Structure 1
Amino acid sequence: MNRSKQPFNHEREHIDSDMIKIEVNLDDMPAEWLGELMDRLLAIGVNDVYYTPIYMKKNRPAVLLSVLLSKHLLDKVKRLIFTETTTFGIRYSPWTVHRLGRKFKTVETKWGPVSVKQALLGNQVVQESPEFEDCRQIAEKAGVPVKAVYQAVWKILND
C-alpha cells in the first residue's frame, strides 16, 4: 500500500491556528521553474502549494503562487521563494484551518488492494477517497484505466 506521507498527525478532527498563507504574483518566470519550486516547497513540509492564473497591471498575464504552511516554516519558505523566484516581495497572513480526522481502510478489488482515506467529522465518516498512487499502480499492472480502478473501489464502498 502506498499511503500519502502526512507531515502532521490528522487522526482526530482539530483546528490548526498556527498556519500562514503566502501569496506571490509572478509575471516573469518560466513554467519549469514553477514546477521545481513546487517540488522544493513540498519537500520542506508545506501543507499545500498551488498556482492560479491572474492578470496584473497593464494586463500582463501572471501566476499567483499560494502556499499554506505551519508558522515554524515561515523563514525557510520565504528564503526559498526569494532565492528561487523573480519576486521582490511576499504577502503573508495568519490562517486558521479546521481539519477533519483521517483514517485509512483497505478495499480489495479484483486487481488487488487499494487504500482508502476516510475523513471523520467527530466519529462519523463524511468523505472517502481512494489513494491515487495505489489506483495508478494497480491500473498499470493490470493494464486497465485508472478510472476503472476508481470505479471498482467506489462500487465496493457504496455496496
Structure 2
Amino acid sequence: MSSEIYSYLYEKVLEEGALDIYTESIYMKKNRPAIKLCILCKESDLDKFIKILLKETSTFGVRYNTYNREELKRKFETIDTKYGKIKVKLGYYDNELIKATPEYDECKLIAKNYDISLNEVFFEINCIIKQKIDTKLLT
C-alpha cells in the first residue's frame, strides 16, 4: 500500500473520532516486511473503523482486541500568559491534581506567531503553571 495512504488515514480516522492511531514496522509470513496499523477507539465505534480500514486500505481483514482503559479525571482551565490566554489540561487521581499540561495546538500557534521554538513556549507556560499550582491558583 502506498505510504501516502497512511497520512490520509491518520487524518480521516482522527476526524472520525478515534482516540489514537499509530503504525508499527513488523514482519509477516515468509518474513515479509509490513506495516501494522493500529486504531484505538471506543468499542461503540468499532464497526465504523473496520469499515474504513476495509474500504480505504489494501487489507482483506481486520484483527481487533478489547482493552481496558483507566484515565485521569480531566478538567480544563485557562491561564493568562504574556502570549494571551492558554488552555491547560489538569489531570486528577483520587481527587489530587497530579498533572497539568498546556494545550499543544495553542503552544504550537504561539511558537509560529512569535517565531520562537516550541520548547521555549512549553518551558515558559509550564513555569507559569507550576507557579499557579504552588500558590494554589490552579487546583
Structure 2 counterpart of 1:61: 33
Q: CA deviation at 1:64?
A: 1.1
TM-score, normalised to structure 2, is: 0.85
**Residues 95-134 of structure 1: matches in 2 within 5 Å?**
95-134=67-106
Distance 1:83 1:67 in 2: 15
Structure with more of its chain in strand, by fraction: 1
Distance 1:90 1:157 in 2: 43
TM-score, normalised to structure 1, is: 0.75
Q: CA deviation at 1:51?
A: 0.9
Query: What is the identity percentage for the equivalent residue pairs of Structure 1 and Structure 2?
Result: 35
Letter in 1 for 2:94: G
Structure 1 counterpart of 2:110: 138
What is the alpha-carbon root mean square deviation over aligned residues?
1.5
Q: How many residues were matched structurally?
A: 131
1:152 to 111, 124, 131: 124
2:66 to 90, 94, 111: 94
Q: Aligned to 1:95, what secondary structure does the other structure show? A: coil
Q: Aligned to 2:58, what secondary structure does the other structure show? A: coil
Q: CA deviation at 1:158?
A: 2.3
Q: For the Cα contact (< 8 Å) 1:107–1:153, is it kept in 2?
A: no
Structure with more of its chain in helix, by fraction: 2
Is 1:42 the counterpart of 2:14? The answer is yes
Distance 1:43 1:141 in 2: 25
Structure 2 counterpart of 1:79: 51
Q: CA deviation at 1:130?
A: 1.1
Letter in 2 for 1:99: E
Distance 1:128 1:53 in 2: 33
Q: CA deviation at 1:82?
A: 0.5
Distance 2:100 2:33 in 1: 37
Q: For the Cα contact (< 8 Å) 1:101–1:120, is it kept in 2?
A: yes
Distance 2:93 2:107 in 1: 25
Unaligned runs of 5+ in 2: 132-139
Unaligned runs of 5+ in 1: 1-28
Q: CA deviation at 1:86?
A: 0.8
Q: CA deviation at 1:113?
A: 2.1
Q: Aligned to 1:93, what secondary structure does the other structure show? A: coil
Q: For the Cα contact (< 8 Å) 1:112–1:138, is it kept in 2?
A: no
Letter in 2 for 1:55: Y
Q: CA deviation at 1:92?
A: 1.0
Q: For the Cα contact (< 8 Å) 1:105–1:116, is it kept in 2?
A: yes
Distance 1:140 1:153 in 2: 15
